[in-house]
Amino acid sequence: MKDEGGWTRLDLLARRLTPFLITITLVIVAQVPMHLPAAISIAPALALIAVYFWALHQPDLIPAPVVFLTGLLQDILTGVPFGLNAFILLVVYGIVVSQRRFFFGKSFAVLWWGFATLSLVIGALQWIAMSMLMGQLLSIGPLLVEYLATAALYPLVAYILVLTHRNILQEA
């Protein structure tokens, strides 16, 4: 008789790491800019979608220190001031975790509305912070396009995360 305890533990660990690994993958994928007409290059906030989703559905699998590290990686890859994305993702995580009870059992439309509203507020705060750091008002156009792209991609990314949650994490 074989001891399958090691394989079981490895399987459980892999399942528990899945939200973190998917979120990190989305951080990397988001660095491939989408080129739009008029030479606008945007990068949807895919990590924001993942943090929002996991904070609602499985916050124990992506705790605050993991969110912080994800934000630091995003800071390094995007070249923004170190800690800005880490702070933003932690704020989103904290707000969503504190409001989980409100969102529990609500329709997808309500979850999408919550994401769109929160990401608009976070985007505005990020624009203010970056304008202050640069010492000038930055153009709001690219931020709005990025916000719309992020909000529009939410259903697709959330669907992939739902499938992951249902099929891979059900035993975690």
Residue 1: which pLDDT band, with cuts at 50, 70 and 90?
very low
Predicted confidence at residue 21, as pLDDT, reads: 92
First to last CA, the chain: 25
For residue 118, give the nearest of 96, 97, 140, 145 by alpha carbon: 96
For residue 50, give the nearest of 83, 73, 78, 24 by alpha carbon: 24
2 or 113, which is more confident: 113
For residue 80, give the nearest of 41, 131, 142, 120 by alpha carbon: 131
The domain segmentation of the chain, as residue ranges, is: 45-167
- Which residues, 6+ apart, have CB-to-CB distance to 164 below 8 Å? 18, 19, 22
Q: Which two tokens stand for residue 93?
A: 């995580």
Distances (CA, A) of 121 to 6, 47, 97: 45, 16, 17
Predicted confidence at residue 3, as pLDDT, reads: 54
Residue pLDDT, tens place only, 139-170 = 888 888 889 999 999 999 999 999 998 887 66
* Mean per-residue pLDDT of the chain: 88
H and E: helices and strands count for the chain: 7, 2
Predicted confidence at residue 137, as pLDDT, reads: 92
Residue pLDDT, tens place only, 33-67 = 666 555 456 788 999 999 999 999 999 989 999 99
Residue 95: which pLDDT band, with cuts at 50, 70 and 90?
very high
